[in-house]
Amino acid sequence: MLDRFREFWGRVMTPVARLFLRLGISPDAVTIVGTLGVAFGALFFFPRGQLLTGVLVITAFVFSDMVDGNMARLAGTSSRWGAFLDSTLDRFGDAAIFGGLVLYFIGPGESTTFAALALYCLVMGSITSYVRARAESLGMEAKGGIAERSDRLVSILVMTGLSVILGQAWFVPFTLGVLALASTVTVVQRILGVRRQSLDEATTGTEA
């Protein structure tokens, strides 16, 4: 479902990508500005308790993640460097969002328990990405799971926004709890998947 969502908005943002290219803006510049915007929205507004404003700012800059890829394809400049930069800066953006929630709960949210939960989600999100990257560096795959990056990002932004709009403060900690569990399961799934591939390789090697 999220892939179709991404494809739809990718097509919608194509005119913007063409405009940026005509203005001489590079895909890398859009990637960097988008990350800075996400970090600003999360780390400036969330700690002040301005959750809805933070979500709106973050969402606006998250769309840059679709624009830069479109720009690279249209310009024929897609490269391993661009993919590396985009993936690396995504980690900064994710950390800023959950880090902003940590600061929110330490401050106006007044809950060290929920702050610890947000911190756990931040850490597990990084581990989820690391497991995949490390597996791929060894020639194996570690994709999938019940909580991929896009799932985590959409869930926490939507529920944080709705918590303010509907006046239901429990939406945020509830979502963090679900993501904490889902991220843990995803890491375990990926580790077991890599172990299976490793055992299969060992078995194949022995038979040969």
Number of residues written out for the chain: 208
Residue 21 neighbours by CB distance under 10 Å: 17
Q: What is the C-alpha separation between 201 and 141, in angstroms, rounded? A: 13
Q: Which residues of 144-182 are buried (b: 16+ CB within 10 A; e: fewer)?
A: ebebbbebbbebbbebbbbbbeeeeeebbbebbebbbeb
Any catalytic annotation for residue 90?
Answer: yes
Selecting among 28, 90, 94, 151, the annotated active-site residue is: 90
Q: What is the C-alpha separation between 7 and 87, in angstroms, rounded? A: 18
Tokens matching residue 34: 């988008």
Residue pair 106/112 in contact (Cβ under 8 Å)? The answer is: yes
Active site residues: 90
